[in-house]
Amino acid sequence: MKLKASVDYGARAIVYLAVKGDTCSSREISEEMSVPRDYLIQLALRLRNAGLIKARPGKNGGYALAKDPAKITIAQILNAFDDDLKHERQELKKSRKEAPSATMVREIHGTIMGSLDSFLESISIQDMLDAYNGGEAPELLMAAALEKEAAKLRSKA
């Protein structure tokens, strides 16, 4: 799966703010993270609306995280930008019956999406920073999160 540029740039901004731990100007974030400044300002609005960052206007203004990096998950960043993840299944008309194969496909799709959401919600920005700062391969963090999700799925079966 390829991430859209908005998700990539938004994640860069969030991680940068988490590393800095302070208010940073759009110019600083733009230069350090190779994000076009005008685009960053647009993305910051979406991140602010999602409750992930706060904006402080003025000469000494800029952006800062709105909450602790341990409370910001990968899923929250994706959801701030990816409207495609928010599509709901259209309800069936009451007069129509769903074919057994359609029911099966719908249930499989629901399991996949639920597991993906749960996996992405289980990884915080702080988890990623801790893995990096501790010299741990990010793949090990991801593997551990996947193992937890697999255990949840097995318990449901």
Indicate the number of domains in the chain: 1
What's the pLDDT score for residue 84?
46
Instruction: Tell me the pTM.
Output: 0.81
Q: Given the structure tokens 């702080």, which residue do they identify? A: 126
Question: Which residue did the predictor score with more confidence, 98 or 58?
Answer: 58
Summarize pLDDT for 31-55 with one digit per residue, the tens: 999 999 999 999 999 999 999 999 9
Q: Does residue 146 surpass a pLDDT of 60?
A: yes
Q: What is the DSSP string of 81-139?
A: H-GGGGPPPPPPPTT----HHHHHHHHHHHHHHHHHHHHHHT-BHHHHHHHHHTT--HH
Q: What is the predicted pLDDT for the residue at 58? A: 82
Q: Strand 53-56 relative to strand 62-65: parallel, antiparallel, unpaired?
A: antiparallel
Average pLDDT, the chain: 87
Q: Whole domain around residue 152: which residue ranges?
A: 5-156
- CATH number, domain containing residue 53: 1.10.10.10
Tens digit of pLDDT for each residue in 59-101? 888 999 999 999 999 999 999 987 644 445 555 555 566 788 8
Between these two residues, 102 and 130, which has the higher pLDDT value? 130
